[in-house]
């Protein structure tokens, strides 16, 4: 009785078996899904960790900030200026012709209604990111009474809008809400 001799040549049988093709495609697809599932955590671990996200929002007590004073706080690693505007500064800001501004915005657009005396902006020059002067007592405020950036000479007015120098936009106003008349939550 002849038994089938196992073949010893190394030629693969002809690729005719469709079931085998399907199996290989299925295996490769499942493996690809696995690779994709692994890739996401590899990338997501670079996103902010929970302790960084916890500091994404801070509460600021404004009760100690006198009229004409500015307080500097750190938010998300960057400085925030909270200025208690004087009535003169508010009038000066409102008197400016919006159309003449590089980045047209009114003071009302940059403050909360009913709290126009509180100007809360990022303390980061919109040119290349230096921290402008003008928040501390005795610091230079520039030609327009707001802030002055010594790095390349940008001047900001009493509403934090850019008036002179290379900065393209007004100082950024972060998202904030008044929790009480004297405290805000930024971020």
What are the catalytic residues?
A: 152
Q: Is 49 in the site for other proteins (CB under 8 A)?
A: yes
With a CB cutoff of 8 Å and minimum separation 6, the contacts of 86 are 67, 68
Binding mask 24-43 vs other proteins (x if CB under 8 A, - otherwise)? Answer: x-xx--xx-xx--x---xx-
Q: Is 5 in the site for other proteins (CB under 8 A)?
A: yes
Residue 82: name the closest of 95, 94, 91, 73 by CA: 73
Q: Is 7 in the site for other proteins (CB under 8 A)?
A: yes
Q: Is 50 in the site for other proteins (CB under 8 A)?
A: yes
Residue placing its CB nearer to other proteins in the complex, 12 or 95: 12
Residue placing its CB nearer to other proteins in the complex, 9 or 97: 9
Shortest distance, position 52 Cβ to other proteins, whole Å = 8
Q: Which of 16, 46, 66, 180 binds other proteins (CB under 8 A)?
A: 46
Q: Is 16 in the site for other proteins (CB under 8 A)?
A: no
26 forms bridges with which residues in the sheet? none
Shortest distance, position 33 Cβ to other proteins, whole Å = 8
Identify the three-state secondary structure at position 82. Answer: strand
Shortest distance, position 163 Cβ to other proteins, whole Å = 32
What separation in angstroms does the CA of 101 have from each of 32, 51, 53, 97, 105?
54, 40, 35, 7, 8
Positive or negative CA dihedral for 170, 174, 176, 181? Answer: negative
Q: Are the C-beta atoms of residues 155 and 165 closer than 8 Å to each other? A: yes
Q: Is 45 in the site for other proteins (CB under 8 A)?
A: yes
Positive or negative CA dihedral for 31, 32, 36, 39? Answer: positive
Q: Is 55 in the site for other proteins (CB under 8 A)?
A: yes
Shortest distance, position 45 Cβ to other proteins, whole Å = 5
Query: Residue 79's CB: how many other CB atoms inside 10 A?
Result: 15
Residue 60 CA from chain centroid, whole number: 19
- Which residues make up the interface to other proteins (CB under 8 A)? 2-10, 12-13, 20, 23-24, 26-27, 30-31, 33-34, 37, 41-42, 44-47, 49-52, 54-55, 59
């Amino acid at each position: 009785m002849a038994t089938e001799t196992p073949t010893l040549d190394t030629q693969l049988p002809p690729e005719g078996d469709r079931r085998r093709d399907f199996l290989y495609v299925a295996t490769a697809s499942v493996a690809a899904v696995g690779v994709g599932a692994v890739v996401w955590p590899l990338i997501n671990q670079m996103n902010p960790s929970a302790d960084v996200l916890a500091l994404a929002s801070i509460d600021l007590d404004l009760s100690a900030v006198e009229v004409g004073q500015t307080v500097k706080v750190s938010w998300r690693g960057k400085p925030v200026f909270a200025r208690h505007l004087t009535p003169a500064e508010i009038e000066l800001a409102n008197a400016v012709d919006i159309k003449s501004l590089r980045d047209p915005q009114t003071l009302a657009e940059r403050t909360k209604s009913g709290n126009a005396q509180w100007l809360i902006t990022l303390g980061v020059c919109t040119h290349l990111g230096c921290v402008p002067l003008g928040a501390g007592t005795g610091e230079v405020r520039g030609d327009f009474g707001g802030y002055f950036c010594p790095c390349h000479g940008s001047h900001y007015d009493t509403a934090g809008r850019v008036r002179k120098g290379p900065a393209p936009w007004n100082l950024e106003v972060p998202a904030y809400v008044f929790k009480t008349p004297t405290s805000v939550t930024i971020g």
